Structure 1
Amino acid sequence: MAHVLSVNVGAPEPNPHKDTESTGIGKLPVTEPVDVRAPGPKHGGQGSGLVGDFIGDRKNHGGDDQAVYAYAREDLDHWQRVLGRELRPGSFGENLTTVDVDVNGARIGERWRIGSTVLEVSVPRIPCSTFAGWLAERGWIKTFTRGALPGAYLRVVTPGQVRTGDEVVVVHRPDHDVTIALTFRALTLEPELLPKLLAADALPAEVHDRVRRRQGFQLDDD
């Protein structure tokens, strides 16, 4: 059964890896139910979609399009083998560590019911300097990018509560083929894939704008 192995939240701690004072990337599992709500805009909103979870860099993280971050336990297991070290739930700063969920194969706009909430797949995680510093692995951003197992950010469609053990049920799947993995590849190492992303209306507006700008440059070159 597809389910949540762990719900993880982070408290503020010093961040020596970026020009922000604090980070909440060090997320730890919690056993009690956690309230989930749409946090509002990235700039000036409440940061995380999970009440009690801290977002330090609200210029680049958090907000409605990055309200909840999900990562598959199976992908953590892959990185455990690659890195030769234990990776507990929450090690990648994810809010939800899942089991039997194809997180990277999820389509943009796909909706999951978890507990009393409904969440919508919005965009992949792009690695940053805080993530690299937190893992303390040489060349981690390049390694993570080549691995193309980014995990998914989710929007909050229906607020409610989530807890460890909740089933993950796909309640809507769009008819396009724009997945989290494809979107990540297009936004990182394979920009030639960017036009494919326009099929996914649920992508954040900033991603659609980036694709359209690139198409405009290509038309000018022709």
Structure 2
Amino acid sequence: MKRLKANLISVNIGQPQPLVGLGKTVITSINKTSVDGEIFLSKLNLEGDEQADKKNHGGLDKAVCAYPYEHYPFWEQELGNKLPLGAFGENLTLKGLEENNVHIGDVFQWGQAVIQVSQPRIPCHKLAKRLGNEDTPQCVIDKSYTGFYFRVLKEGTVSVTTPLHFLKRCTDYSVSFVNNNFHHDRYNEKVIEELLAVEELAASWRSMLRGHLEKILEKQ
């Protein structure tokens, strides 16, 4: 396996605030601000970052959201404007880690902290409102430009100047592979059974996949 190399472009945090988009107002933390200094990464989030909707965002398996900087040129052309770093509500804007080369369970050292890829991100209506285009979430899914989440295995101080060092790979399943099964091949019984056995995949995702499997079995 080629050793993964990741460059941090920006570390972004945000607090709940009103967002007006597509004619509606929602309370969200999707608007992030870049931070340069050292901050503490806990099991739940980066210092200064907070989720507005704790039912669908945040938690142990979604402590840190990452998005590949490599996707920004596509979206800038698609949306017709220059995007600020953190435009997708991500905590980490990074280069070198994309959905097709990052696997569920990949472990990285980041400063004093140790983090592990836990699941793909599922885009929601707030991303559409943030970017002013109602088609963006579906396009994210179609392109598999979802980004992904980290859980925190070890808390500690981190910063944008502290690189991510790849430590180990735990599974054979890339983020893109999981995306494809969930969004486009969700009734593939064999693949679902394989993913259900992946302990490193977030519990919420395994629960959703178990629901898909139950629907398959009901039709048999």
**TM-score normalised according to structure 1 size:** 0.86
Bigger shift: residues 209-218 or 81-90: 209-218
For residue 68 of structure 1, what is the aligned residue in structure 2? 64
Q: Distance in 2 between matches of 1:191 and 1:103?
A: 18
Secondary structure at 1:203's aligned position in 2? coil
Give yes or no for the alignment of 1:190 onto 2:200: no
Q: How does 1:10-159 map to 2 (within 5 A)?
A: 10-15=14-19, 22-39=27-44, 49-159=45-155
Structure 2 residues without counterparts, runs of 5 or longer: none
CA deviation string 1:156-212 (max 9, x = no partner)? 1111122113211110101x3211112122222331355142242111223223323
Tell me: CA distance 1:172–1:20, structure 2 relative to 1, closer, same or farther (3 Å): farther
How far off its partner does 1:138 sit?
3.5
How far off its partner does 1:16 sit?
5.1
Tell me: CA distance 1:179–1:82, structure 2 relative to 1, closer, same or farther (3 Å): same
CA deviation string 1:96-136 (max 9, x = no partner)? 11122235421111111111111110011101111111110
% same residue? 32
How far off its partner does 1:56 sit?
0.5
**TM-score normalised according to structure 2 size:** 0.87
For residue 165 of structure 1, what is the aligned residue in structure 2? 161
Structure 1 residues without counterparts, runs of 5 or longer: 40-48
Q: Number of aligned pairs?
A: 212
Letter in 2 for 1:51: E
Root mean square deviation, CA, Å: 2.2
Contact kept? 2:99, 2:174, Cα under 8 Å: no
How far off its partner does 1:137 sit?
1.2
Contact kept? 2:61, 2:149, Cα under 8 Å: yes
Q: Distance in 1 between matches of 2:77 and 2:195?
A: 32
Contact kept? 2:120, 2:149, Cα under 8 Å: yes
